[in-house]
Every structure is written in C-alpha cells, then in structure tokens.
Chain A
Amino acid sequence: MWLGLFTVDVLLAQSPQACDCLIKGTVKDRETGQAIVGAILIVEGTNRNGITDAEGRYKIDKLCQGNYTIECKIIGYKTVKASVSLVHSAEEDINLTEEEVHLQDVEITAHRVQSSLSQKTISLEGKALEQNQGQTLGDALKVLNGVTLLQTGASIAKPVIHGLHSNRILIMNNGIRQEGQQWGSEHAPEIDPFVAKRVTVVQGASGVRYGSDAIGGVILVEPDELPKHSKISGEANMAAFSNGRMGVISGTLQGGIANWKGWAWRIQGTLKNGGNIRTPDYFLANTGVKEHNFSLTAGYRNAKVGAEIFYSQFHTNIGIFSGSHIGSTSDLLNVIKNGEPFIKADFEREIERPNQLINHDLLKGKAFYNIGANRLTWTFGRQFNRRAEYDLHGPQAATKPALLFRLTTYTSDLIFEHAPIKGAINGQIGLSGLYQYNFTDGRPLIPDFDQTNIGMFLIERWVRNQWELEAGLRYDWRKLDIFKFVGSALSPRQHQFSSWSGTLGSVWNATEALSMRVNLGSAWRPPSPNELYSKGVHHGAAAYEEGNDQMQPETAYNLIGSIDYNRKQWQVEVGVYHNLIQNYIYLKPQAEPILTVRGAFPYFKYVQTNASFTGVDVDTRWEIIPKKLTHTAKISYLKAYDLQEKGYLVLIPANRIENTLKYNWTQVGKWENLYLSLTHLWAAQQKRVPPNSDFVDPPAAYHLWSVLIGGDWNKSIGWSLTAQNLLDAAYRDYLNRFRYYSLEQGRNISLRIKWNF
C-alpha cells in the first residue's frame, strides 16, 4: 500500500471586492514528489471547483472572503480536506499577482487507497487505533460499526463484517491477500496489529479489485509509509492488561540513509505474554498466549521509480481452554448442564495441551514506475503459514501435532493506472495471479491441495462537479488439484472454477453537508477444500461434518448505500445493505446422528442455498458542548435469511447499540489532549435462529460498560487507561464457541503507553 502526501500550496488572494478572491496552488504526491494531474478541488459550500493541469497546478477564482474548506480528491487517493482563510487585505489592489498574495503552506496527509470510492469504508487510525492496540487484530476492529467477532475463547478472534466471516471476507495485509487457513472458525488472522498504522474496513462485496473471497468486505491492514528524511525516529509501545496479566511491548525504529537520498528502512517487533483469563467467577485453565513478531522494511524511491521489500514473521502459541476439550456429545451436554467448567484453575502462565502453535512468514516486494502520468505497479508476495494444533490425546501428542497444516502462497499483481482522460476519467487495469499449495498431516480433515488463480480487472471512474461514477469488471479462473487418498492409494481430483465480478457505483456530494453513495458490487468464492472434502468429527463443535465435492462457487450481489450528513455539531451516517448470496454454503443438520467410538455425534452436511443478509448501520456524533462534550452512538441491525429453506441462518451476530459520552480537556500543565469517555454496549439476544440447530439456545442479551481515560504528556508520550467490562458482568456471546463452556472474560483494566522519539 502506498501512502502519499499532498502538498497543497495555497495562495490566498486578498481583495476589497468581496467575491473576487482566488485560491491557487499545486498538488503533489509527496511519496514521489510528482505532480498529480487531474485532481479535483472543490470549495465546500460553493459551486466553485478546479482541476489540476499537467503540472499539477490549479486555480479557483471568484471566491468571496471568508473561511473555506477545500476538498481535494483523485482516484486512488483518500479524499483530503484543508481549511483556508481568505483574509481581508488593507490594500486596495485589484490586480492580483502571485507576488502580492499571502502564501500559506498546507500539508495534508493523504493515503493512496485501494478501495472503491462509492463503497462505504471505515478506518481505525491514530489515537483510535492506539487505544485498542495490544490485543488481537479482531479486538481492535470490533470498535468499528458493523464489525463483530467470531471467537473461540478470548485469544482467538475473527472479524465478522455484516454477518460474514472466515472465507467470506478478505484481509489485505500490507497489500498482500492474507492466506492462512481462513476456513476454520478457530483460525484467527496471523497478523501483528502493531505493524498497522491504519486499519480500514471496506464494507460489501469487492470482488473486482480484490478477487475471490471479498464477499462480505475487505480489511486493509496498512503500515506507515517509509520516512522521507535520514533522521532516525521511532516509537515504543507498552500495554499491560489486568485480565490474564498480559503484557505487550512493541517497538519501531526507522530512518533513511545519510547521503543516499530516497533510501529508507524500518524495523519493528512485538512481544506478548499472557496467562489464564478470568471470568467474573473463575479462571479459565490453559488460556495463556505467547507471541513474538517482527518485520523489516527497506525501500528506495524517487519521482520516477521506487521499490520496497518487506519481510515479517508472526509466531504465536495459544492455549486452548482445557474445559472446552470434549470427546463426545455427552461430554458437551454435561458441561452445558453444569453451567460452568468442571475443573477450575488458578492463574497460570504455562501453556499446556491442547494448544495451537502458529507461524506466518510474509515476504513482499513492490515496485512502481511512472511513465508520464501513467503508473505501473508490481507487487509480489510469498507467504508461508504453519499451523500446528496439539490435542490432549495419548503419548504421541507430546511430540506430534494432531493436525499440522503447511500452506505456501505466492501472489503477484501487476497494475497499470492510466493518466486521466479529459481530466475526468481515471482508472486502472490489473492482472493478478496466485499459486498455493497445502500439506495436511495428522487427523484427516482436509486433503493436500494445490491451486492456481488468475484474474484480470478493469476499473474506471469519472468525476465531475458533485458527481462521481465508477464501474469495473473482473474475470477470475481457478484450478484446484486435490490429492485425496483412499487408504494409501492416491486418488487425485481436479476442480476448475471461473467467475465474473462487477461493480457499479456513484457518489453524490449534494451539498456541503450532505453526501450519498451507492454501490452495487459482486464477488465470488470458490468452495474451500473443507467444504468439498471434510469428513469427520469437528472436535470442540461436537459435530460430524461432511463435505460435498459437487459444490459450486458462491456468488454475492451486494447493494450498499449510505447517507452522510455533517453539519456543525451534528454528524449522522446511515448505511443500508442487502447482500444476496447465491449458492451460499452452510452446514445443514441431518436427521440421523453418526455413531462413533466416542458415541453419537450430530451429523451435518455442507449444502448450498440462496441467502440474504440485510442490515442497517447508523453512526451519529453530537457535539453537545463544542470541542468539549460529545455523544456518539453506533447502531447495528442485521437480518440473515435462508431464501430456499425459508428460515434463519446460524451464527449471525445479534443486533447491538453502543453509546459513548466523551469529555475533552485541552491542557493541564504538561498534560495535554485529555479525555474521559464512558461507553455502554447493549447486545441483543439472537432470536433469529433455525429451530433445533444448536445444543442450547443463544445466550441472553447483555450490557457492558467501559471507561477510558487518556491523553498526551510532554508532547511525546501518549497514554490511556481503560476498563473493559467495568462492572464485571457475567455474560456469554452467541458468536463465541466457548459460550457452551464458560462465561466471557470479566473486568479487564489496561494501561497503554506510547513514546514517540
């Protein structure tokens, strides 16, 4: 992901005639220093606008005196806004010349974004990201409206966007599709959130730009751009949590190379160590986590070319709560009946079996070449994911994982962004390839496989005055070779899938305060190897699951619209979506159970249906006392429906409402930007579930309170103190698999300190 910085040199005109002022300047990409051609500049609240010419220059005249916000946008960059004061001049000189006007440099950080303009995106960056660092990537993301978590205890959390998760959302880690074993509900993203300076959620199907799996949305994990200067700088982060007595330290060091203009580097690393998690009533045995991660980046760039190499390693050892280890359906029914774990533990840091040992390596290379105003970018990635799951069973378990997956993925993307046509049409054409192979050892679950994917896409966008239109098309082809064994004889199988994806969207900036966007997008997902070939008991879920090798790809058609109203003390954003998924794959309960040596297990088969996900997200922000007291609310409503069976779907997040009251102080001595906030979350009980689909009814609704105090000290140190689940409420969440076995974690007080140097 490339981050750019516009330098907008704003020339302020002064004129006695109230409406004869002028703003002019140039727009540059700070990353490359190159002039940006075709950027649109809109003066909010007026009908005046301009477009940058071949030298990146623009001029907007006939403006009245006053304070303005100018908005600068161009495809591929995040829209930026700058405040400009057109001040009155004492001189009565009507003939304006550049020398006479007051020059004001406005620097605005702008990010080159990969997402569609007409799709709703929400980002977590700066303070908002820092306040949620230290736990998993999912824990940081869940503060965003429309994002919930699918959990296996407290340490394994997968993000859910608009009710979809796992293989139905895509994570772009530093511009590379994250390829772990996403199909598993207990397989969390193998990403160190401290690498990210910004995490963005693109809501809705985004198959054109990102390819397969982007059915529910995309999560973009983006590090900062490499520094421009040779001075060494960095940051140190520390987070301590009372629950699990978890400590996390993370540091970054970066700089350039003296006398080597354009070269830059960064090293980053994180250590995490936590012990048993505590619910309000008891500790959960074997719920510790240990993590050590690092990343290295080096790069060179000038106005014409640039290249960057990134390497990261992620290692984690996650203890799986011993009380969740069940051998049979009767074990599960017994613990549900008991209402709490049979074996209580004390605090312990040691991780025993069962546990997961996960390594993820990523090597990424990226290069760009500017040919005039055209740009060619090549991105290459190699990932190696090793997931070892250790069981409790038998003496062999001590040395050998019950399940071992080794997944290697190569990705390569070539993107050509063309120069604006007639100053209004921008676009890109891309070619992307993926080659992947997997080895599974141990318990039969998914076969070894090998797959190749080739995709081509084109996206064009047209911007004019208040209107932006975009359209795109993509074609993907995938070949999947399965190495299935019948006894010890290899019985290979081959599947070929192909699909078209499309996107059509529009943004209408109706007035200064009101904008609307609507997008119709599609995405596809070929069935994953477990949906095709799994056959066996899913331990922990106490279910016998069987795949179907005749499965067809899923196709999603997603209509998403949002209205954004932003006026003085009020900001309201309403997003509405309807996602129709054809051939939606799910596990359907069968009438007869499967009898095994561990007793009878409920029998589920992977089948396909048509499903719809319809929902509304509302975000409001009200400055009750300007710059002091703010109220924010997030409301999320979702209804998922099986259109063929005329019933509900399982594991859909319940509706929720969150209210936050925040008070800001500007300064108390060396303490600056102080704030105190109080948040209340209400999550409803999920009542829309199919009958007889679960061992127990979805848990009751719950209320959670949390408090946050924070600020900066002496400019270089940021700190915050948080109490999550302040009242130590005993509750369970429907999307946590451990709801059967235990309560959710109790009060958790955390202290975060960040030092910039």
Chain B
Amino acid sequence: MNRLHFSWALALVLTLALVTSCKKEEPAPEDENELITTVRLKFTENGTTTTQTFDWKDLDGEGGSAPTIASVGLKTNRNYKLEVEFLNESVTPVDNITEEIKEEADEHLVVVIPQPAGLLTYTYDDKDSRNYPIGLTGKIVTTSAATGTIQVQLRHQPPVGGVPVKNGTATPGSDDANVTFNVVVAP
C-alpha cells in the first residue's frame, strides 16, 4: 500500500463513520421489572375456612394516584392464620411475586409489627432452609378490643460477599415493601 492508498483509506474510514450514523431503533416504553403494586393480607380464623382479604394497593406504582389501603377488621380473643402475598397487578397476567420470595426464601423476611404492641401477637409459622422464619405464613392471636396499626415489611437480605446475612431479624438488607394497615379489633 502506498501513501496515496493510505490517505484514501483514512478518508474512507472517516466517511464510513459518518454514514453508519443512520441505523436507529424505535423508542419503546420502559418496563419496570420487580414492581410490587399490592400487598395482600389473608386472615383465616382457626377452625374455619372463611378467609378475609385486605389489600394495600397502588396500581400505578410510585407517585400518580395515591395508594388505596383496606382497613383490617378482626375479632377479639381469636386465633388467625395470616398469609401475606405480594403482587404486581400492573401487568396482565398478574405477576405473583410471592412465588419468587418462596424460591429465594433464604434471602427474604416478612416482618409484621403491631402498634401498639398489645394490639395483637404475631408468631412466624414457616421456615427457610437455614431454619430462619420467612413470614409468608404466620399466626395471629387477638385478645381485647383495640385499634392500632400493623406494619408489614418485606426485607430483602441477599448475601454480602457470598456470605448469607439473613439472621431472623429485620436489621440486614433493605425494604422491598414497607406498608402500614389500620387495624380494628372488636368483639
């Protein structure tokens, strides 16, 4: 290749750089993977098969319209089974995130905190492979009539540096969900 050819090659590369600018794709809507729109509490009184369902729901995600929050009504001096579900209802079919949490039970923990503390008592009723609770299923015992709130947190506690950090407490990790329901315990 002589000098002249090399100059032409350089000119060609520059021109090609200009021409290749024409390829372009069409804009597409964003899709948020892992959106949780709904936190569902399912209470089943022991010895019965009737299930009461209460939803915390924000179908358009963060911002926009405010979430709708059902008020939880329970009876005094009863024992309930509590199942917690997490859904993405902004897509069809509805994405049941609870299944993913079960699959990754070793790095998730559902925390249920009554306020005031005497409103009701909550105990875990499920275990992951390392014998720590998951919290997708639990037991609730009510006593006297009271009003208050329960806070439901989904803690994501993935391993750090390959070492598991889940230790049965809420401390490690971060919130995937953190919602609060009003509760009335009445006769």
Contact = CB atoms under 8 A, between A and B. Distances in A.
Contacts of B33: 393-394, 396-397, 400, 402, 442-443
Interface residues of B, number: 47
Contacts, number: 146
Contacts of A537: 62
Contacts of A535: 62-63
Given A327-B174, A442-B32, A300 B62 contact: no
A330 B62 contact: no
Given A300-B10, A394-B100, A328 B17 contact: no
Interface stretch (B124-132, B138-146, B155-163): B155-163
Interface string B63-82: 10011000000000000000
Contacts of B25: 439
Contacts of A483: 27
B30 A442 contact: yes
A363 interface: yes
B47 interface: no
B47 to A, nearest CB: 33
Contacts of A441: 28, 30-31
B160 A392 contact: no
A599 B27 contact: no
A541 interface: no
A328 B14 CA distance: 50
Interface string B168-182: 000110111111000
A395 B34 CA distance: 9
Interface stretch (A110-118, A344-352, A662-670, A685-693): A344-352
Given A331-B174, A352-B161, A395-B103, A599 B62 contact: no
B21 to A, nearest CB: 6
B162 to A, nearest CB: 7
A157 interface: no
A330 B113 CA distance: 14
B179 A345 contact: no
A488 B29 contact: yes
Contacts of B61: 536, 596
Given A286-B161, A444-B30, A536 B62 contact: yes
Nearest to B107: A392
Contacts of B171: 342
Given A345-B161, A598-B178, A599-B179, A382 B21 contact: yes
B106 interface: no
Contacts of B161: 285-286, 345-346, 348, 350, 352
B67 A343 contact: no
B14 A343 contact: no
A260 B165 CA distance: 64
Contact of B30 (A298, A309, A326, A485): A485
A326 B27 contact: no
B76 to A, nearest CB: 29
B134 interface: no
A186 interface: no
A292 to B, nearest CB: 23
A90 interface: no
A375 interface: no
A175 B171 CA distance: 50
Given A437-B24, A596-B62, A599-B179, A327 B156 contact: yes
Interface string A461-502: 000000000000000000000010101101000000000000
Contacts of B177: 327, 597-598
Interface in B1-55: 3, 6-7, 10, 13-14, 17-18, 21, 24-25, 27-34, 36-37, 39
B18 A536 contact: no
Given A345-B160, A597-B177, A448 B34 contact: no
Contacts of B31: 441-442
Nearest to A446: B30
Nearest to A353: B158
Contacts of A342: 171-172
Contacts of B63: 535-536, 544, 546, 594, 596
Contacts of A444: 30, 32
Contacts of B97: 394
Contacts of A350: 161-162
Interface string A347-366: 01010110000000001010
A164 to B, nearest CB: 29
Q: Which of B33, B36, B100 neighbours the largest number of chain A CB atoms within 10 Å of its CB?
A: B33
Contacts of B62: 535-537, 544, 594, 596, 601
Nearest to A347: B161
Interface in A591-606: 594-599, 601
A343 B156 contact: no
B151 to A, nearest CB: 9
Contacts of A552: none
A314 interface: no
B5 to A, nearest CB: 12
A300 B5 CA distance: 13
Contacts of B39: 597
Contacts of B13: 309
Interface string A284-300: 01100000000000101
Contacts of B6: 260, 263
Contact of B17 (A307, A326, A380): A380
A309 B15 CA distance: 12
A322 interface: yes
B10 A309 contact: yes
Nearest to B162: A350
Nearest to A260: B3
Given A330-B175, A485-B30, A300 B7 contact: yes
A741 B112 CA distance: 26
B27 A410 contact: no
A78 interface: no
A303 B32 CA distance: 57
Contact of B104 (A395, A439, A490, A598): A395
Sort A-B residue pairs by CB-CB distance and give the 8 closest, nearest first: A327-B175, A483-B27, A448-B27, A485-B29, A327-B174, A599-B178, A328-B175, A394-B34
Given A330-B175, A352-B160, A394-B97, 9 more contacts: A300-B7, A309-B13, A345-B160, A380-B17, A395-B100, A395-B104, A442-B33, A536-B61, A595-B67
19 contacts: A260-B3, A285-B160, A286-B160, A327-B178, A380-B18, A393-B156, A394-B33, A395-B104, A443-B32, A485-B30, A535-B63, A536-B63, A544-B62, A596-B61, A597-B37, A597-B67, A597-B179, A598-B178, A599-B178
